[in-house]
Amino acid sequence: MLSHKIKILAYPYSRDFLSGRQPWRMLALHEKYGPAVRVSPNEVSFASAQSWHDIYAPRKGGEFLKSNWYENGSFGGHAIVSVRDPVEHAQMRKYLSRAFSEASLRDQEDMITDLIAKYIDGVGKTAKAEGVVNLTDWHNFLTFDIIGLLAFGKSFGGVESGRLGPTYSARLSLFSQAFVGSIAHANVMDTLKRFPWLGAVYLAFNQGWLKGIARVADRHMSYTKKVIEDRISEKTDRKDFMHYLLRDHPQDDDSESFHMQMSGHAADLVVAGSETTATTLSVVVHYLLEKPAIFKTVTEEIHGSFEKEEDINATTAAPLKYLHAVCLEALRIFPPLPIGPPRDAPPEGAVVDGVSIPGGTLVSTNPCAASMFSKNFHNPSEFIPERWLGENKDDILEATQPFSLGKRGCIGRNMAWLELHITLARLIFRYEIEREGQLDWIEATPMLLFWQKPNLMVRVKERIRK
Ligand code: HEM
């Protein structure tokens, strides 16, 4: 039995999920009912620092494993993000870790910086030609290009063309269309699983639509597999992810299952590593434009630290304390992964944040709710980088865990930090940035598994350095 401490709600969880406002509805429920809320018959949502620890950190006894929600995606759940079996995952994580080690990141830094330099130039050129630039697009170009280059051996050509030009549309359009399709598929399947009876009725009336979505997901898989086969047969000494995966993967063969697994990893890396980083970049710029005093402080920090833009690299940008605090605050106020990563309670049950949870119950910590809960942060809707600097007795900082934690925590967080630090430091070093029009970021950003980001229209002008 679920502990008496939590209320049972007749809550239209999946309807909210499809409406795009689910993270904010979850926050409202937590504000009303507390840090543990039972959101569907077999599911409890949490919003506390302790729950992050209890559910996701390594623990003695049975673990909380990824739920069957992860099987909704493509490649049948046998790639790094979606695999559920802990033994299979540990094996994958071990050989993937080498592609994400400090040494590998150093090998990859030049490739990443080269794309960031193209992004910086491209933003300026577009502003000159068109007056305004949509930074949301440019952050997508940049982060998809970086992961494209590292995971597939080919950038999508976004920062080079700066528009849906022939190379870009041929590669990214197909991929992103397929990507969105596969996410929509995952979303619908998730909703149907929660309400099997309703699901059966729904499916009976919507066969064509569902088949359409499944076809797009299939296209995603075939396209990914083709690109990976090209990469596997390419002779190159480029130190991209595939270099390490092909070197360290235990199965040294040319079989269909080997190709499928490499394709699955590459697809998972694109999904996990591009949208999330692009969201953070846009959220940082949005809030800097909202808060001129904060923008001024971070600009002074960057200008006080560098003489030339080329001096900004992973080693020199990482110590910029205020910039780092700005990024942490962006990750708190708008967590890039908007859903609570779902886990099954171990068969013998467990205690999460003081609540007894029976075996098999679906649990998660909701990132938005935990990051914005008034019991965790003072003025939670205010963008205050100072929370992350010096002593802080007002906030429970561990309540926000944008990269999650434990064995299934983000393997790419060092790479994400590298991208955030260099990109933002170089952008702010080179340009004065002004907003064009108005934007309420939270209102304008629905969530459909990933955030559907609004346009971030800005004017940029090269700074004249004294
Ligand atoms: C700001 C940027 C990022 C954020 C906020 C973020 C967040 C997360 C979160 C919350 C998880 C746990 C997901 C879950 O339990 O379902 C995760 C896992 C993961 N992330 Fe990231 N991520 C970011 C960037 C990246 C990058 C750049 C890469 C790769 C290039 C990456 C690769 C992965 C992978 C492979 C996993 C699955 C790890 C495993 O299960 O062993 N992420 N990330």
Q: Are 360 and 347 in contact (CB under 8 A)?
A: yes
Q: What is the pLDDT of residue 448?
A: 76
pLDDT of residue 31: 96
Amino acid at 315: T
Residue type at position 319 = P
Supply the pLDDT for residue 52. Answer: 98
Write down the pLDDT at residue 289.
Answer: 98
The Cα 159–Cα 119 span in angstroms is 5
Question: How far is residue 277's CA from residue 415's CA, in Å, rounded to a whole number?
Answer: 10
Cα 101 to ligand 1 centroid, rounded to whole Å: 15
CA–centroid distance, residue 445 to ligand 1 (Å) = 21
Question: How remote is the CA of residue 255 from the centroid of ligand 1, in Å?
Answer: 28
Q: How far is the CA of 278 from the centre of ligand 1 (A)?
A: 13
Per the domain annotation, does 301 fall within a domain? yes
Residue 415 maps to a domain: yes
Report yes or no on 352 lying in a domain: yes
> Domains in the chain: how many in total?
1
The confidence band for 153, taking pLDDT boundaries of 50, 70 and 90, is: confident
Query: Of ligand 1's atoms, which has the minimum distance to the CA of residue 147?
Result: 30
The model's pLDDT over 319-332, given as tens digits with 9 standing for 90+, comes to 999 999 999 999 99
Pick the more confident residue, 303 or 177.
Answer: 303
Per-residue b or e along 172-181, where b marks 16 or more CB atoms closer than 10 Å to that residue's CB: beebbebbbb
Residue ranges making up the domain that contains 370: 10-462
Atom number of ligand 1 nearest to Cα 419: 27
459 Cα–ligand 1 center, Å: 32
Nearest CA to ligand 1 atom 25: 273
410 CB within 6 A, ligand 1: yes
CATH number for 307: 1.10.630.10
The DSSP annotation for 155-171 comes to: --SHHHH-SS-HHHIII
Cα 288 to Cα 271: distance, rounded to the nearest angstrom: 26
User: Does ligand 1 have an atom closer than 6 angstroms to the CB of 272?
Assistant: yes
Ligand 1 mean position, distance from CA 319 (Å): 23
% of the chain with per-residue pLDDT over 70: 81
Q: Indicate whether 399 belongs to any domain.
A: yes
Atom of ligand 1 at shortest range from CA of 96 = 35
Q: Which residues of 292-311 are buried (b: 16+ CB within 10 A; e: fewer)?
A: eebbebbbebbeebbeeeee
Cα separation, 105 vs 226, whole angstroms? 26
Count of Cβ atoms closer than 10 Å to residue 452 Cβ: 12
- Position with higher pLDDT, 201 vs 233: 233
What is the Cα–Cα distance from 184 to 210, expressed in whole angstroms?
A: 10
Give me the residue label for tokens 């900082």.
397
pTM of the model: 0.91
How high is the mean pLDDT of the chain? 86
Contact 273, 147 (CB under 8 A): yes
Best probe residue, ligand 1, of 92, 276, 324 (max atoms within 8 Å of C-beta): 276
pLDDT exceeds 70 at position 205: no
Instruction: Locate the ligand 1 atom nearest the alpha carbon of residue 404 and give its number.
Output: 10
Q: With respect to residue 440, please indicate whether it lies within any of the assigned structural domains.
A: yes
Give the pLDDT confidence score for residue 257 in this predicted structure: 80
Residue 256 lies in a domain: yes
pLDDT at 92 over 60: yes
- Report DSSP letters for 264-282, one per residue: HHHHHHHHHHTHHHHHHHH
pLDDT of residue 169: 43
* Spatial separation of the C-alpha atoms in residues 329 and 283, rounded to whole Å: 10
The finding on whether 339 has its CB within 6 A of some atom of ligand 1 is no
- Tell me the residue type at 234: E
Identify which of 3, 57, 59 has the alpha carbon closest to the alpha carbon of residue 34.
3
Domain assignment present for 3: no
The verdict on residue 4 lying in a domain is no
Q: What is the predicted pLDDT for the residue at 170?
A: 46
Q: Using the mean position of ligand 1's atoms as its centre, give its distance from the Cα of residue 143 in Å.
A: 14
357 in Cβ contact with 42 (< 8 Å): no
Q: How far is the CA of 49 from the centre of ligand 1 (A)?
A: 19
From the CA of 295, how far away is ligand 1's center (Å)? 28
Location of structure tokens 């990269």: 403
Least confident of 16-25, 262-271, 445-454: 16-25
Q: Which atom of ligand 1 is nearest to the CA of 70?
A: 16
Range 43-51 average pLDDT: 96
Ligand 1 contacts CB of residue 449 (under 6 A)? no
Q: Is 49 in the pocket of ligand 1 (CB under 6 A)?
A: no
Phi, psi of 244, rounded to the nearest 5 degrees: -75, -40
Rounded to whole angstroms, the maximal C-alpha distance in the chain is 68
Give me the torsion for CA of 382, 383, 384, 385, rounded to 10°. 160
Assess whether pLDDT exceeds 50 at residue 88. yes
Can you tell me which atom of ligand 1 is nearest the CA of 367?
10
Only one residue has tokens 């976004």, namely 158
First to last CA, the chain: 68
Residue 76 structure tokens: 């049948």
Ligand 1 pocket residue status of 422, Cβ below 6 Å: no
Q: What is the DSSP letter of 432?
A: E
User: What kind and span of H or E run contains 333?
Assistant: helix 321-333
Ligand 1 pocket, residue 264 CB under 6 Å: no
Q: Say what the pLDDT of residue 184 is.
A: 58
Atom of ligand 1 nearest to the CA of 265: 35
- Quick check: 140 pLDDT over 80? yes
327 marked as binding residue: no
Which has more pLDDT, 185 or 340?
Answer: 340
Cβ of 411 less than 6 Å from ligand 1:
yes
